[in-house]
A and B are shown apart, each in its own frame.
Chain A
Amino acid sequence: MNGLNKWFGRGWLSACYLFLYLPIAALVIYSFNDSPIPNLWRGFTLQWYTQLPEDRELLAGFWLSIKIAFFTACGSVVLGTLAAFALVKYRRFPGRTLFSGMVSAPLVMPEVIIGLSLLLTLVSVQRMVGVPERGMLTIWMGHMLLGLAYATVVIQARLRDLNPQLEEAAMDLGARPWQVFTLVTLPMIAQSLLSAWLLTFTLSLDDVVLSAFLSGPGATTMPQVIFSRARLGLSPSINAVATLVVLVVAIAVAFASWLIARHERERQREMAEAYRS
């Protein structure tokens, strides 16, 4: 690459990263702004943070969101592992095309359509049998659909890269299929399970459209509260919440990448040792 090209490249990259991070920086900085108008800097304060624990509506939404996100992440990883396993290991089974289509379709299908179709189905079922009421359970069902799709993609990518000879070797040594899975396959894909869990957790924690369609009275998630306030205009309390979210995500991602880096180093050391002996 010649000199001009190199500087142009660096400039373009910096501008794009600036564009990506500018809104996040603004949210964080203005969360410390001592002014009810979030855009006009007046001085440093922590008042928006100290007010958060008194915000009943937001707090209730937060706990509901955490619960739903936890169950969504767990459920998505379990079903996603099964789906990824089916897609990678079983090349042929009846309805495979339909299956792979259904797995990846929620990734691109607009959420309003998924939300509407689930809501109308729910209402139809409700009229026939009386259950389920709209609330936490139904929001979870909706989030599971998105979570399953994302988890499958992440786990599938890892499963495809695995060396099948390791599993074959275990089987030759007399391991039963379940043992092969828990003792050989599972430890090798553990890292992708962790990233799938984290990804589906944050997805569920952030979702507003599906929740809006599927929630009932008395079940309002945190994004729904934020969304309804953001529609009305700017509010400093949202900036404070946003800053906390950014902080938690940054810590989680840093921790996960540290884990992955450590795992990678260990693997390379073990491989080097194996070659030496």
Chain B
Amino acid sequence: MKLATRLHALARGRSAVIGLPYLWLFAFFLLPFLVVLKISVSEMETVHFKDLITFKDGTLQFAIQLRNYLFIAEDDLYFKTYLSSLKYSAIATGLCLFFGYPFAYFMARARPTVQPALLLLVMLPFWTSLLLRVYAWKGLLSDHGWAHTLITGLGLDHGLVALGLIASPGQLLNSPFSLVLGMSYTYLPFMVLPLYANLAKMDLRLLEAAADLGATAWVAFWKVTVPLSKAGIIAGSMLVFIPCVGELVIPELLGGPQTLMIGRVMWDEMFSNNDWPMASAVAVVMVLLIIVPLALFSKYQAEAQEARR
């Protein structure tokens, strides 16, 4: 009887509203992470993993293996892969910020009547398939592609060779260049949208005040607008940087053999080498790498929410 009334109470109202999504997320999000953590310190046996803790002959036995982590720390390849993942993601984030900031700025300062249309035009590519848009770049950058013709026609490919982004002139595809281009292209809306949201609600009287106090437009931009949009810059950069680090599709389609990305290495450990503990360890280290920016991001998000109230 008591159980029945309890179940009844649970089925309605507050507990169900909170409980259902809570349980779902717990079972499908948090628990799987603990499983990965466990497997990353396990030893692979023929079919099963060794139990972590066993009670045998009256003694407790621990079989926690840090072998995988030691291997990651010692092996040059993993270190290089993490480093180049971070490097290419940072370059893509920088490019998105460089092109996206003026983009969002001019959008926010456009006539209010055209702003919804401009916003919709930024969202529209986000709704169409990422996979297909990345694939499109494969065509644009290969021989006879539009971007290929434009870049080689202007002689820009020699500059890219000098920067070390492509191996030889005219060889645009499967290079660090195509990888970084693909990532910047894909995640540009992720930079523009938070920046736009931030810049559109800025109090323009502050700029008038700056002008009254004798600041030129340029000085006012750097001393007033940019500092005020700090939260937007951080949010946008995190939204670009973090998914780039773990990206699998773009390196697979546009990255070449010399562009090491951690998502791809993890995939290979999992499906080519069938080394699940190793793949798990690579994933755990990846989570640790992005948890710091993630924590920063949620801190700023919370602050922005507080400010809105």
Contact = CB atoms under 8 A, between A and B. Distances in A.
B227 interface: no
Main DSSP-derived SS at the A contact region: helix
Interface stretch (B57-65, B66-74, B158-166, B237-245): B237-245
Interface in A80-125: 80, 82-83, 85-86, 89-90, 93, 95, 99, 101-106, 108-114, 116-121, 124
A242 B132 CA distance: 6
Nearest to A235: B135
Given A27-B136, A121-B35, A242-B136, A108 B48 contact: no
Contact of A110 (B18, B21, B28, B263): B263
A85 B21 CA distance: 11
Interface string B97-130: 0011011011101100000001011111101111
Nearest to B277: A120
B129 A116 contact: no
Interface in A137-168: 141, 144-145, 148, 152
A57 B252 CA distance: 22
Interface in A221-246: 223, 226-227, 230-231, 234, 238-239, 241-242, 245-246
B153 to A, nearest CB: 15
Interface residues of A, number: 83
B270 A206 contact: no
Contact of B25 (A37, A113, A118, A148): A148
Contacts of B99: 16, 19
Interface stretch (A5-13, A48-56, A269-277): A5-13
Contact of A117 (B14, B107, B283): B283
A22 B146 contact: yes
A110 B245 contact: yes
B215 interface: no
A111 B20 contact: no
Contacts of A230: 131, 135, 138, 253
Given A104-B298, A110-B242, A257-B120, A120 B135 contact: no
A79 interface: yes
A85 B20 contact: no
B21 A148 contact: yes
B249 A227 contact: yes
B252 to A, nearest CB: 6
Contact of B20 (A82, A116, A246): A82
Interface stretch (B2-10, B76-84, B286-294): B286-294
A120 B39 contact: yes
Interface of B: 13-14, 16-18, 20-22, 24-26, 28-33, 35-36, 39, 48, 99-100, 102-103, 105-107, 109-110, 118, 120-125, 127-133, 135-140, 142-147, 185, 188-189, 217, 238-239, 242-243, 245-249, 252-253, 263, 266-267, 270, 276, 279-280, 283, 286-287, 290, 294, 297-298
14 contacts: A13-B110, A20-B189, A82-B18, A86-B17, A108-B239, A109-B287, A112-B267, A145-B29, A206-B130, A223-B129, A227-B253, A239-B139, A242-B129, A249-B128
Interface of A: 1-2, 5, 9-10, 12-13, 16-17, 19-24, 26-27, 30, 37-40, 79-80, 82-83, 85-86, 89-90, 93, 95, 99, 101-106, 108-114, 116-121, 124, 127, 141, 144-145, 148, 152, 177, 199, 202, 205-206, 208-209, 223, 226-227, 230-231, 234, 238-239, 241-242, 245-246, 249-250, 252-253, 257
Given A27-B136, A105-B294, A121-B35, 19 more contacts: A13-B103, A27-B139, A30-B139, A79-B24, A80-B21, A82-B20, A99-B18, A99-B25, A101-B298, A108-B239, A110-B290, A112-B267, A120-B36, A177-B13, A206-B131, A227-B131, A242-B129, A245-B128, A253-B124
